[in-house]
């Protein structure tokens, strides 16, 4: 890497962040599985619409506070939420 071409360093930073992101998603998945088991054991529904709306609103606000587009955050969390519901129902 040179001062004139810092792409290598930036790409390394992205790779490191992607690894951390995937590790966080894997850890989240483990918690989702615990929640799913608890809900099944106690006869609770997989989806609590009011909670989901509150979570989505807070994540969008947090993302926006960090300079992220709310529409991007909503799309991302919709994907995460849909996958979590699939895991909970298995």
- Is residue 48 situated within a structural domain? yes
Specify the pLDDT at position 4: 77
Specify the pLDDT at position 90: 80
CATH of the domain at 29: 1.20.59.10
For 16-53, letters b (16+ CB in 10 Å) and e give eeeeeeeeeeeeeeeebeeebeebeeeeeeeeeeeeee
> Has residue 3 got a pLDDT over 90?
no
What whole-number distance in Å separates Cα of residue 39 and Cα of residue 46?
A: 7
Mean pLDDT of 34-63: 95
> Has residue 89 got a pLDDT over 90?
no
- Is residue 53 situated within a structural domain? yes
- Is residue 1 situated within a structural domain? no
pLDDT digits (tens, 9 = 90+) for 63-87: 999 999 999 999 999 999 999 999 9
Specify the pLDDT at position 87: 92
- Is residue 2 situated within a structural domain? no
User: What is the reported pTM?
Assistant: 0.84
Complete DSSP assignment for 52-64? HHHHHHHHHHHHH
When divided into structural domains, the chain yields a total of: 1
Full domain range(s) for residue 68: 7-89
């Amino acid at each position: 890497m040179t001062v004139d071409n810092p792409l290598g360093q930036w790409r390394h930073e992205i790779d490191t962040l992607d690894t951390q992101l995937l590790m966080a998603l894997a850890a989240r998945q483990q918690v989702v599985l615990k929640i799913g088991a608890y809900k099944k054991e106690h006869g609770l529904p997989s989806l609590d619409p009011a909670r989901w709306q509150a979570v989505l609103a807070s994540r969008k606000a947090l993302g926006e506070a960090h300079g992220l587009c709310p529409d991007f955050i909503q799309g991302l969390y919709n994907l995460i939420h849909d996958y979590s519901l699939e895991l909970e129902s298995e």
